[in-house]
Amino acid sequence: MSTSVFADPLPGTPAADGFRMPAEWERHAGCWMIWPQREDNWRGKAEPGQAAYAAVASTIARFEPLTMLVPPEEMENARRQLGPDVRLLPAPSDDSWCRDCGPTFVTDARGRLRGVDWDFNAWGGLYEPSDSDRLIAARVLADVGAPRYRAPLVLEGGSIHVDGEGTVLTTEECLLNPNRNPGLTKAEIERHLADYLGTTSVIWLGAGLVDDETDGHVDNLACFVRPGIVALTWCDDPADRQYEISRDAYERLSRSRDARGRTLEVVKLPLPGPLYRTEDEAIPPLRGEEHGLHRKAGDRLGASYVNFYIGNGLVLMPQLDPNHDGEAAAILARLFPDRQVVGLPTREILLGGGNIHCITQQQPAGTPG
């Protein structure tokens, strides 16, 4: 389906029209996901991955409405695995990471809801084709009936995190990567973030999580849990490559102030593992070694407890390592005393290249208009 099927994007920018991206902990109208089916990314004909996605979707649907975008040929299979509380919407896709190819919703003081349709190039060309994923944001916004802004920037939703009060957190490794926006300077990218997120301050971290194939998405490294408080992936092993990365992030956060002038409190979440892909978890590329995804035994997995989802009354966290799952859950329970912290085993999602936050995209409360 071509973009001509969808309504023309709005002129101007969200910020100029009085819109901003709400924080993830603000009230949601629902959540969006995309059903996995890509056999060169998901082992076992995607069946284990689908079971993991179904568990995530069914859990979130207990707390807020959830819509699953499903390739038409997978509708019957998805319906069998998903509970009746999950809405299915037929939609072609290339993979299943709604955080990154879905829209970023924005709202204004009048409670109106709109969305930002970023340019998407599959994480700098990690896989091809990506034509269907490039249309996901427009499809979602058309279904919601929300007006759409088309941003002149390659950006994935997992590369940003906002506090809802003017501050955006991101990494240099991702947003300044030449495989995203090689013609833009750092200042120009900051200007686009301000225009399309309604932010006034950018906090730049350096590198992201070790061996994160998204080129350092911030949602594996650090995130706001409320204004002035950031959760950070932490590593205590000097021999681990994550050790220096986390310390650099801590130093940057400690020196930073948010858009309201506050210094930041940094809460450390333990690093799982490290975890590695086993022999039975390897997947040979279907399109030849020079194209597509590579899933080799022995590869380190980009595992992080920061990759959780904040829903209405819920924090849904990945369970990745029995040595640290309980500690991470206890920290999140202290950070979110008014929400139920629920853990799910998500190694199968991790094997695909991300985790719970990566596969979800919240729709804040608001009336399209």
pLDDT tens figures, 324-350: 999 999 999 999 999 999 999 999 999
Enter the CATH code of domain 18-368.
Answer: 3.75.10.10
DSSP per-residue letters across 236-299: --TTSTHHHHHHHHHHHHHH-B-TTSPBPEEEEEEPP---B--GGG-B--TT-TTSS--B-TTP
CA proximity to 49, closest of 368, 364, 353, 338: 353
User: Are the beta carbons of 63 and 312 closer than 8 angstroms?
Assistant: yes
pLDDT over 70 (residue 3): no
Contact call for residues 15 and 147 (beta carbons, < 8 A): no
What Rg value do the Cα atoms of the chain yield, rounded? 19
pLDDT of residue 292: 54
Percent of the chain whose predicted confidence (pLDDT) is above 90? 93
Distance CA 68, CA 88 (A): 5
Q: What mean pLDDT do residues 286-309 have?
A: 81
Of 182, 110, 126, the C-alpha closest to 158 is 126
Q: What is the mean pLDDT of the chain?
A: 96
**What mean pLDDT do residues 87-97 have?**
97
Residue 323 token pair: 């040595």
- Residues taking part in catalysis: 358
- Residue-range domain boundaries for the chain: 18-368
Whether the pLDDT of residue 98 is over 70: the answer is yes
Q: Which residues fall within 8 angstroms of residue 56, CB to CB, at 6 or more apart? A: 33, 316, 344, 346, 349, 356, 359, 360
Q: Which residues, in sequence order, are CB contacts of 135 under 8 Å at separation 6+? A: 1, 3, 6, 92
Which helix (H) or strand (E) segment holds residue 317: the answer is strand 314-319
HSE-CB at 281 with a 13 A cutoff on CA atoms is 18
Tell me how long the chain is.
369
Q: Give the pLDDT confidence of 124-138 residue by residue, as tens digits.
A: 998 888 999 999 999
Read off φ and ψ for residue 304, nearest 5 degrees.
-155, 135
HSE-up (13 A, CA, CB side) for residue 16:
8
Under 8 Å between Cβ of 108 and 115? no
pLDDT tens digits, one per residue of 262-289: 999 999 999 999 999 999 999 887 554 5
Which among 60, 56, 45 is positioned nearest to 81, based on CA atoms? 56
The encoded tokens of residue 359 equal 């596969």
Give the position of tokens 């940057």: 252
Judge whether residue 65 has pLDDT over 60: yes
- The Cα 326–Cα 270 span in angstroms is 10
